Amino acid sequence: MNRIDMTSTYLVTGGAGFIGSNFVHGILNAYTDVKIVNVDALTYAGNLENLESVLDDPRHIFAHADIRDRHAMDALFALHKPDYVVNFAAESHVDRSIENPSVFTETNVSGTVSLLDAARCHWQDGDGWGMHRFLQVSTDEVYGSLPLEDSSALFNEKTPLNPHSPYSASKAAADLLVQAYGDTYGMPVCITRCSNNYGPYQFPEKLVPLVINNALNHRKLPVYGDGLNVRDWLYVEDHCRAIDLVLREGRSGEVYNIGGNNERANIELVKTIVEYLSRHTDAAISTELIEYVTDRQGHDRRYGIDASKIKQELGWEPRVGFDEGIKLTIRWYLDHVTWITHAVSGEYESYYEKKYGNEVNV
Ligand code: NAD
Ligand code: DAU
């Protein structure tokens, strides 16, 4: 984002998580005269260390609150009168949704309705301050799965919703509710559906930081099934730039797909990380650490994004190629080992033990 002057108030939810915190940093770097109200419940995935450098910035106001708490949301809207609302807050990990679906419907569905409705009331009843956009950060997973055999098949914005996991079903439900608020009340909503992100501040339960953290600790690297499931990887800063563009210039009621045009099989990605680490850190890190483990239940085979709409309408394209992005990412984790140590202490240890303990030992 280029640094320019612009007076706007953003209400961002989930801004202590991976993508949300990258978005907060990106906006504060891009605009001098801006206010961000960052609403986060600080679940296991929320981490104030992600925001350390901006906690004293007067343009950034952190509100420790749950989007399901309607009174708290009403109070925040009344106080800050945001121009833009971006809903990142969610339970985001597919494996956890398989273990415990209900918290996913509570946050991702009920929480989104609570936030949406607070936004609607202030948008309708507000005394002329106006809310320009409510943007729901959704996912390509709502479209379901593509076959490996046909690499030309891609998800576009008209692809029917066909989610398979409790996580993606909860995100699809939220998308439908956001669209309903646009259709019923005329609220200025947009939805973005992005592919897999990687970059700084990602919680180490997700594949990229999990592999980095495990390799650095000489732990086995768990690869589900045959390792041939394909994801389309996008550097997180490119996602954040796309979100801000849709917020400001997207058409109301529209969905925009966002993707990296960078499909990789999981095993290929894991080997890329291992290779980099073995060259730059410790020769003992090798592909010997890779262990094929029991597949994820209902594991989507392939995601692939057609992002031509956002390119044609808004001129967005990824700027960070995979070779550069993955090096930046690995470098960041190597430079932030304390951050990893703090992130994986506490709840994550028991999660990891329960999930991988019998198959992937230290
Ligand atoms: P994350 O798990 O890293 O962060 C989620 C944040 O939301 C955390 O800070 C958490 O404390 C907060 N949160 C959770 N429940 C809350 C609640 N009830 N009230 C307020 N805050 C709450 O997630 P992420 O990877 O940064 O994903 C952010 C959003 O982007 C999610 O909506 C996700 O579905 C979507 N998304 C993620 C990816 C990806 O690759 N990570 C790709 C596409 C879309
Ligand atoms: O596509 C966008 C989605 O990407 C987001 O909506 C989700 O919030 C985000 O978590 C991510 O979902 P995935 O399930 O694709 O990400 P995850 O990092 O969990 O897994 C990536 C791939 O790696 C997937 O095919 C499962 C596999 N995997 C994952 C883990 C954690 C493994 O093989 N081993 C593992 O230990």
Q: Give the CATH number of the domain where residue 137 resides.
A: 3.40.50.720
- Is the residue at 212 inside a domain? no
Structural domain range at position 19: 8-197+235-259+301-320
Q: Residue 281 has what pLDDT?
A: 92
Q: What angle, rounded to 10 degrees, do the helices at 266-280 and 207-216 form?
A: 40
Q: Residue 6 has what pLDDT?
A: 59
Question: What is the C-alpha separation between 210 and 43, in angstroms, rounded?
Answer: 19
Residues with CB under 6 A from ligand 2: 92-94, 139-141, 195-196, 206-207, 210, 222-224, 229, 231, 266, 296, 303
Examine the residue annotation and report whether 167 is marked as an active-site residue of this protein. Answer: yes
- Judged against a pLDDT cut of 80, whether residue 129 lies above it is answered with no
- Is the residue at 268 inside a domain? no
Number of domains in the chain: 1
Q: Residue 284 has what pLDDT?
A: 87
Substitution candidate for ligand 2 out of 206, 213, 272 with most atoms within 8 A of CB: 206
Substitution candidate for ligand 2 out of 164, 207, 212, 266 with most atoms within 8 A of CB: 207
Examine the residue annotation and report whether 66 is marked as an active-site residue of this protein. Answer: no
- Is the residue at 326 inside a domain? no
pLDDT average, residue stretch 93-116: 98
Strands 133-139 and 230-235: unpaired
Of 141, 175, 244, 263, which one is the catalytic site residue? 141
Question: What is the C-alpha separation between 164 and 170, in angstroms, rounded?
Answer: 10
Amino acid (one-letter) located at 357: G
- Is the residue at 171 inside a domain? yes
* CA R_g for the chain: 20
Average pLDDT value over all residues in the chain:
95
**Ligand 1 contacts CB of residue 14 (under 6 A):** yes
- Is the residue at 23 inside a domain? yes
**Ligand 1 contacts CB of residue 137 (under 6 A):** yes
Q: Residue 130 has what pLDDT?
A: 77
- Judged against a pLDDT cut of 90, whether residue 241 lies above it is answered with yes
Tens-digit pLDDT profile for residues 14-41:
999 999 999 999 999 999 999 999 999 9
Q: Residue 362 has what pLDDT?
A: 39
Examine the residue annotation and report whether 141 is marked as an active-site residue of this protein. Answer: yes
- Judged against a pLDDT cut of 50, whether residue 361 lies above it is answered with no
- Is the residue at 54 inside a domain? yes
Q: Residue 125 has what pLDDT?
A: 78
- Is the residue at 255 inside a domain? yes
Cα 2 to ligand 2 centre (Å): 31
pLDDT average, residue stretch 52-61: 96
Cβ-proximal residues to 251 (8 Å cutoff; 6+ apart), any chain:
190, 313
Q: How confident is the model at residue 7 (pLDDT cuts 50, 70, 90)?
A: confident
Among protein residues, the one whose CA lies closest to atom 21 of ligand 2: 207
Q: Residue 128 has what pLDDT?
A: 52
- Is the residue at 351 inside a domain? no
